Structure 1
């Protein structure tokens, strides 16, 4: 069943369980926050990725999969700005975009994970990719003088396989398109396969940087 929900298109993907701090200053989104804060049962809005365009001013092209964000805090940020804290909850599909009046709105349907099992082979492949990434990241971090990344262990992550996939994705340095692929994976099995692919790209990028650390540092 569809539900009408205020929407906040952003240049990022929000995962279930992820914390999202926002600075709100555009009048239409200030109006949206006022609407959400008016009643305790309305502290939620949808977040979707902007596929093309910009967050400010409208005219953007939006993706059809997103996440419900629940407002956990709100305080003045100086001038007309508000600083709000949010946390991702359920995944959603956008059924229909409604008129942006006075702020973006959509008819959405919650999209729970579709049943699928993460096979032992897939879990092993993901574990190997994580270990490879962890080792390369440690070398790169040592060169840059930064702390290294603590490699998570799949079996030690809390919750269901679906929860584990999202928890892992929240900690990985992957781009918005890969994050959208993770969010759009129908179930846990497919999500693990997407994570393996995304990690392969990250590993390749790290190998390139380590082969020419001076050039990669200049490019950065």
Structure 2
């Protein structure tokens, strides 16, 4: 068991994915100072189940991702940081805020790769990229359809989950995957659902056809 500072958010961080955060609450300034004094500058990012990001008192899910700080900058009383998802952790016990959230955690086993999964990976990648391209017709997306992925197949599987245009509840379900196959099939299922919603939006936005005389 390890005690780790935690940062509750309204979004999920996956392993091998970057994130940008803006620190403006005093409790997270304290957390950041403690993290930077540690041997490894890392903390956990956990999805909020109920409540809001600011002020505390939120309820949180029990699985999270360790974020390692890669860059810091200070501007106008706030601190901006870039971090990268490293590994998954399970919260075994939430501790009292001191003053920031913290928990006792343990590592979740790493996913394993088999070359037999390559066709499934390729299918997931094609679907995610196609759906991102379709979604970009309606609204600006966080990731372009041609975004580069890692050459490491486990990392790129997590990255597909991270760039897929799906909501946080789908994301937390993907983060809980016990195997790489389960992760990739989950990405395909969630993205297929998202693509259907996009297709319905497309049909609703299309002007009615003129009657032919």
Both proteins in one fold, TM over 0.5: yes
Query: Which segments of 5 or more consecutive residues in structure 1 lack a partner in the other structure?
Result: 216-220
After TM superposition, the score normalised by the length of structure 1 is 0.81
- Residue 172 of structure 1 corresponds to which residue in structure 2? 164
**Displacement after TM superposition at 1:145 (Å):** 10
Per residue, is there more helix in 1 or in 2? 1
Contact 1:137-1:149 at 8 Å conserved across structures: yes
Within the candidate set 84, 88, 93, 1:91 is matched to: 88
1:159 aligns with 2:158: no
CA distance change for structure 1 residues 126 and 212 in 2, over 3 Å: closer, same or farther? farther
Task: Provide the aligned length of Structure 1 versus Structure 2.
Answer: 206
Aligned residues: CA RMSD = 2.9
CA distance change for structure 1 residues 144 and 135 in 2, over 3 Å: closer, same or farther? same
1:5 aligns with 2:4: yes
CA distance change for structure 1 residues 26 and 145 in 2, over 3 Å: closer, same or farther? closer
Cα shift readout 1:25-67 (whole Å, capped 9, x = no counterpart): 111111000111124x141111100011011111111001011
**1:6 & 1:136 partners in 2: Cα distance?**
36
1:213 aligns with 2:213: no
1:149 aligns with 2:174: no
**Displacement after TM superposition at 1:89 (Å):** 0.6
**Displacement after TM superposition at 1:95 (Å):** 0.9
**Displacement after TM superposition at 1:151 (Å):** 8.4
**2:134 & 2:22 partners in 1: Cα distance?**
35
CA distance change for structure 1 residues 53 and 129 in 2, over 3 Å: closer, same or farther? same
After TM superposition, the score normalised by the length of structure 2 is 0.83
Query: Which segments of 5 or more consecutive residues in structure 2 lack a partner in the other structure?
Result: 208-213
